Structure 1
Amino acid sequence: MNTSAFIHVQHLLGTGHAVRAAAIGKALVARGVSVTLATGNLLPPTLDTTGLEILQLPPVKSPDAVFNRLVTPDGDPIDVAWKEMRTAATLKAFAAKPYDLLLTETYPFGRRQFEFELSALLEAARQSDRPPLIATSIRDILVRKQELWKEEWMADQALAHYGRILIHSDPDFVQLADSFPFADRVEHLVHYTGFVGGGPRPKPPASDGKDEVIISCGGGAVAEGLLMAALEARPLSRRAKDTTWRLLVGHDISHGVFEAYQNRASEGVIVERARRDFPGLLERARLSVSQAGYNTVLDVLIAGTPAVFVPFAQAKETEQTQRAEALAKHGRAIVAPEHNLTPERLATAVDEALALPQTHTEVLLGGADKSADILLEDLRARAA
């Protein structure tokens, strides 16, 4: 049977959503599925999309952490005409051929500001001559909403349109109910896949990363406080002032700002762009210092490296703080709050992390492969 899948992903600031969607897509390709990855933002240059048909939708992003505005890559606000253009592009792509599977990354458990597009996509899927299996792919922790009705709306949408909810988590580590009050309503649709990530990556050259402090920030769009503190924290650390500190600056940070970071770097501090061999650097490192995004935390867990997490917590963001605190409870990390972060406070957190007993937290991995297996089994069950 020739099976085809349409995956829709929209990342706004961080790149984790796109990374997970691509990983699931590649796992489906490895099982003989033809996969179209429709991306609503520019994919990071470090992302391997081999085997996927990439469909670039008119790109849009959030200019800040408030997430109440959407702008084009040039910073222009979107309007009704743009929304109509974007919706038309999505529907045209979906209509290009019959799809057996429609996978929406995050939606309806987030990305509600794209309801104008995704509700139309769901309706088109339901009206198809051969309606596809509709599934959603969500990370371990959802951002809580201040208005309970918005979370109830998520459950209503899932029940109305979706046949499967994939949660990329280890249920012994974190469950949907930890961040979603209506988890019981959709429980019959849920499958935990394990964490998505940890696949083969290039090995770092020579001795890069060996005994270093690796500071990373994903795409880097909201990491200024962490990077500025890290540039000056090395000489203030008692346990790590004798080793190289390597700052990996995300590709969402402009060239001018990147050069400014390089110019501020003191002796013993290397500033360079984010690298695809980041997991290999972690395996060799003395310590990881980072935000607490999904992919970075997973890389840290796999490497078994001591860690300091500075969770992104601007505006109403709670997801990274909850994830970082979960690891801290396992004795795997020190949490340094983003608010009022200083070089002195970061250096203290580094010393505390290096004093932690060496432990290894086993978590369920292989989430991309497990997701692909679940989806294909669902398709087989529908055809039976």
Structure 2
Amino acid sequence: MPKLMFYCQHILGMGHLIRSIEIVKGLIPDFQICFINGGQVIEEFKFPEGIEVINIPAVKTDSEFNELKPVDDDFTMEELEIIRRDILLYTCERFKPDILVIELFPFGRKRFSFELIPLIEKAKSMGTKIVSSVRDIIVTKQNQQRYEEKVCRLINQYFDMLLIHGDPNFVKLNLSFSRVDDVVCPVHYTGYVVQPLPESNSSLQLKKPLILVSVGGGRFGHDLLECVAKTASILKDKIPHQIQVFTGPFSPDAVYQKLQTITSNQDNINVERYTPNLLHYMQQAELSIGMSGYNTTMNILTTGVKAMMMAFQGNNDKEQETRVKKLDNFGRVKMIHQQDLEPEKFARQIIDYLQQKPTKLKLDLNGVSNTAYYLKQLVSKQVMSV
């Protein structure tokens, strides 16, 4: 069985980790897998059985991506860089992968070049095929031309394949990265990577009608959560419903406690940090309110739930805004703007939107199986460029 090493670094939210693990689940039947997790460990998050997981000393950042920080304060960032690089090189030497999949790099994670370039060079010296795994929309940079030149140089120097986890009929990578045609290795759109819908969970007794509110990892979206918490008392006497809020495992204690205080006397809203059963809640919800990240968007499309979505704006990041604007224009979701976060106004919008019927949107959601196909073709040296 061929060996595949998968590197994933999540530093702010959980999206990169969730998408990467869904891809890995689709590879388990055909590959022996070593998964490298460079982000903060989430105790409730369960990795699939049958793979080796290495949690290297974790790194995180703030919402503006100003600096990288060790999750463990016992280390300096300089010490952590050496430790992480050595672990990666040792693991590569020991595991001897046929394929090394690196999530996002070189389109992102530039500040992890200290470990990724040595890892890639080590792997290539062993005859390993190098693959870049990226989502549909890339974060644009202030000096976009210089950035794209560097990405093209790195991918053309080191990589054997680029996999874009999106549907070109909805969003092409060219929208956020203009030089896709200058990439010399095979480039494939896989379709979107989605989590499979779970079977019904009889242990979850949910009050209905349900309004589900979630903001991914929880390091941002706090203003949306606070607005929802203050909106609960207004909605209570206007529509029958139960609001279930998940703040995310990385939500600061101060934010979590503030929400608990706001909602302490409200019996129509419940605030928790995290659930591994988010899709169960979404399947049964009448409305989902949250951020417009990749995975949340895919969950909304697969469950068919009505959705109100707000874009993350930190670090001048337009990825989520681009995605939710397109979905809003198609009539599939309602976009939440910053000026909407006033409880009376937001309550009216919720009531109005619940009366509407969203349009259906057909996208290629076969990203897991198509990714497995292309990687199997690569390892058997039969891949052909599109």
CA distance, structure 1, for counterparts of residue 254 and residue 70 of structure 2: 20
Report the aligned-residue RMSD.
2.3
Q: Distance in 1 between matches of 2:310 and 2:29?
A: 36
For the pair 1:225 / 2:223, whether they are aligned, the reply is yes
> For the structure 1 residues 239 and 376, does the alpha-carbon distance in structure 2 shift closer, same or farther, using more than 3 Å as the test?
farther
AA aligned to 2:162 is: I
Counterparts in 2 of 1:71 and 1:41: CA distance versus 1, 3 Å? same
Give the equivalent residue in structure 2 for 1:59: 58
1: CA distance, partners of 2:238 / 2:107: 41
Matching residue of 2:153: 156
* Structure-2 residue corresponding to 1:182: 179
Whole-angstrom distance in 2 between the partners of 1:65 and 1:101: 32
Residue deviations 1:313-355, cap 9 Å, x none?
A: 1231111111111110110111112467332343243234324
In 2, the alpha carbon distance for the partners of 1:188 and 1:353 equals: 45
Matched with 1:114 is 112
- 1:100 is displaced (CA, Å) by 0.3
2:133 corresponds in structure 1 to 137
CA distance in 2, matches of 1:102, 1:356: 46
The 1:346–1:155 alpha-carbon spacing in structure 2 relative to 1, beyond 3 Å, is farther
3-state SS, counterpart of residue 315 of structure 1: helix
Q: Classify 1:143/1:344 alpha carbon distance in 2 versus 1 (closer, same or farther; 3 Å).
A: farther
How many Å apart are 1:263 and its aligned residue?
3.0
**Following the alignment from structure 1 to structure 2, what is the Cα–Cα distance between the partners of residues 239 and 133?**
60
The AA in structure 2 aligned to 1:14 is G
Tell me, in whole angstroms, the C-alpha distance in 1 between the residues paired with 2:268 and 2:250.
Answer: 25
Q: Go from structure 1 to structure 2 and tell me whether the alpha carbon gap of 1:240 and 1:22 turns closer, same or farther (over 3 Å shift).
A: farther
**Structure 1: 5+ residue runs without aligned partners?**
none
2:140 maps to a residue whose letter is: R
| CA distance in structure 1 between the partners assigned to 2:69 and 2:208 by the alignment | 40
Where do residues 85-104 of structure 1 align in structure 2 (5 Å cutoff)? 85-104=83-102
Does the 8 A contact of 1:9 with 1:17 survive in 2? yes
Which residue in the other structure is 2:332 paired with?
332
Tell me the amino acid that sits aligned with residue 51 of structure 1.
Answer: G
Deviation at 1:299, TM superposition (A): 0.4
CA offset at residue 19 of structure 1? 1.1
Task: Give SS of 1:222's match.
Answer: coil
CA contact (8 A) 1:210 1:281 kept: no
Deviates more, 1:140-149 or 1:187-196: 187-196
Residue 200 of structure 1, CA deviation: 4.4
Secondary structure of the structure 1 residue equivalent to 2:149: helix
- Cα distance in structure 1, aligned partners of 2:359 and 2:270: 28
Letter in 1 for 2:143: E
Contact 2:11 2:40 in 1 (8 A): no
When residues 160 and 226 of structure 1 are mapped into structure 2, their CA distance, relative to the original with a 3 A threshold, is same
Q: Distance in 2 between matches of 1:260 and 1:239?
A: 23
Number of the residue aligned with 1:70: 68
Unpaired runs of 5+ residues, structure 2, are none
Number of positions where the alignment pairs a residue of Structure 1 with one of Structure 2: 379
- For the residue of structure 2 that corresponds to 1:51, the secondary structure is coil
Residues 136-188 of structure 1, C-alpha deviations (whole Å, 9 max, x = no match): 11111111111120122112211111111111111111111111111221276
Cα 1:364/1:239, change in 2 over 3 Å: farther
Identity between Structure 1 and Structure 2 (%): 28
For the residue of structure 1 that corresponds to 2:5, the secondary structure is: strand
Change in 2 beyond 3 A, CA 1:182/1:269: same
Q: Which residue of 1 aligns with 2:167?
A: 170
Q: Secondary structure at the match of 2:364?
A: coil
Tell me which residue corresponds to 1:358: 358
Q: Cα–Cα, structure 1 residues 84 and 206, in superposed 2: closer, same or farther, change >3 Å?
A: closer
2:259 to 242, 258, 261: 261
CA separation of 1:376 and 1:226: change in aligned 2, threshold 3 A: same
- 1:41 is displaced (CA, Å) by 1.1
Identify the match of residue 193 of structure 1 among 182, 190, 195.
190
- Which letter does structure 1 place at the counterpart of 2:86? A
Which residue number corresponds to residue 298 of structure 2? Answer: 298
Q: Contact (CA 8 Å) 1:71, 1:77: kept in 2 or not?
A: no
Residue matched to 1:280: 280
Q: Equivalents in 1 of 2:359, 2:313: separation in Å? A: 27
